[in-house]
Amino acid sequence: MEAAIRCSACGAEAPGGARFCPGCGAPLSAGRPRMSTGLLPPMHLLVKRYAIIRKIAQGGQSAVYLAHDSFQNDAERAIKEMSESQIEPEKRSQAINDFFRESRMLQSLDHPTLAHVYDLFTEQGKYFLVMEYVPGHNLEDELVQYRREALDWEDVTAWGMSLSETLSYLHSRNPPIIYRDLKPANVMLLPDGSVKLIDFGIARWLHPARMKDTMQLGTDGYAPLEQYSSRSERRSDIYALGASLYHLLTGRVPEAAPLRMAGHNLRPIREVNPRTPEVVERVILKALNLQPQERYRDAQELREALEWARRQSQSRSAGVSRAGPSSSGIGRMTGMPAPGSSAHDLRSPLAPRASHSTYPPSGSMAPRSPGAPALPPRLYVWPLRMDAGYILVNQTATQQLEIANRGGGALSGRVETNIAALKVEPQKFNESCSALTVRIDATGLKVGSYVCHIAVRSNGGDQIVQVRFVVRPAGDALNGRSHATGQ
């Protein structure tokens, strides 16, 4: 069977061998096969300049490689390659626009906690972004793979202060930039203990005249309530940072904001990790308030609250009492009695503002805390949306669903579906299971489009996977557009 091709005029997909686009009617002589990412071999040379060393990461719509820049004395670079293999034809233009938007956004930024962008180019119809290579691993890996226990509050508050400064910088741009997907997996921990924020794939400029985002994006557990209704703002990033700090201190992703709104309360940080000082817990819970107006006013205020909580905790452990910010700071924000001194006192010559670089490094260089709790299981499922395409009546399609434990302990659970035609094996799984087989049996189904769901329920959390497919009449030829979808 010939590979599917795309129309260069409108981006619609057509079956291999077709002469005209089913979407706009244009000749398909310029059409090309859909190309997946992550397939570039070592030593492959891009634009006669960048030599691929190895693939670093692979996502749903992109891959990242480590490469040498022959024009800059073989300096190491990270090259992001955009994928089209999982993008629907009508969304292709949007994905390309998002890719170029990300590059323009990053090229306009200059901050030590952000990766620098060097180049943007296309080659053989694919899109590449050349960035600073950031060594190390992300904070989620630090939690799950390297420590395997909840992290020390000293490290977590230091990272929180640094990321607050990053958000303050982004929010102060003209127009402001809202990151929208802050989570431990998007924060790199460098060998010297500092952090960098990566992956601006869904960040956007904040325009006062635009009341809503183009779509709801983010990650459950880290996304605030307003982001589910496509209304992100500066304080949305403050919630996501609070959720990230909560995750690092407890080993648990917070309950999704809609579930919290429905009455599922957050488990207290100190109940999971008793080493965390009460003042640190109060700062983080303030950032995690469901109502934006009840969070910190801006990222700088959050940074000052974290700094004060850190100093207060260190002083108490040394038997010394210190005053905190004014009523505009930690006291009013957390419900604690407002200390007597002003926030300006923290920045006086007697108490200089500390930079994240002054705190002890983490990772393999940091001692493990003997009292830190072990991580609970944490369910990982991929993909979260499954598109099985066209299925003929009375035929069966098979897909694979990856499953893993990204936490500690032993993962176990079961799988449910909402229609009989959708079956998943095994229905019960344990730690040894790495994949689920998804079968869609179109026998007896009516011709048309279907959207159904798989519920993966476990002792490490639940995940709902959306499954889409289109049932076509038996013997119907694939002609690019299905009358069953109304297109």
b/e code 54-93 from CB counts within 10 Å (16+ = b): ebeeeeebbbbbbbbbeeeeeeebbbbbbbbebbebeebe
Q: Which of 326, 340, 459, 467 is nearest to 391 (CA)?
A: 467
Q: Do residues 454 and 400 make contact, with C-beta atoms less than 8 angstroms apart?
A: no
Question: How far is the C-alpha of 437 from the C-alpha of 443, rounded, in Å?
Answer: 18
- The answer to whether 311 and 321 have CB atoms below 8 angstroms apart is no
In angstroms, the CA 465 to CA 1 distance is 29
Among the options 69, 152, 181, 237, which is catalytic?
181
Phi, psi of 365 (to 5 degrees): -80, -15
Contact 38, 81 (CB under 8 A): yes
> Is residue 55 within a helix (H) or strand (E), and if so which, with residue range?
strand 50-58
Q: Within its chain, how far is the Cα of 326 from the centroid?
A: 35
> Strand, coil or helix: what is 157?
helix
Contacts of 485 (CB under 8 A, 6+ apart): 448, 449, 470
Active site residue 181: yes
CB 9 within 8 A of CB 20: no
Structure tokens at 285: 């819970």
Q: Are 67 and 48 in contact (CB under 8 A)?
A: no
- 434 contacts 403 by C-beta, under 8 angstroms: yes
CB 92 within 8 A of CB 11: yes
Rounded to whole angstroms, the Cα distance separating 65 from 454 reads 33
Cα dihedral sign for 157, 159, 163, 166? positive
Catalytic residues: 181
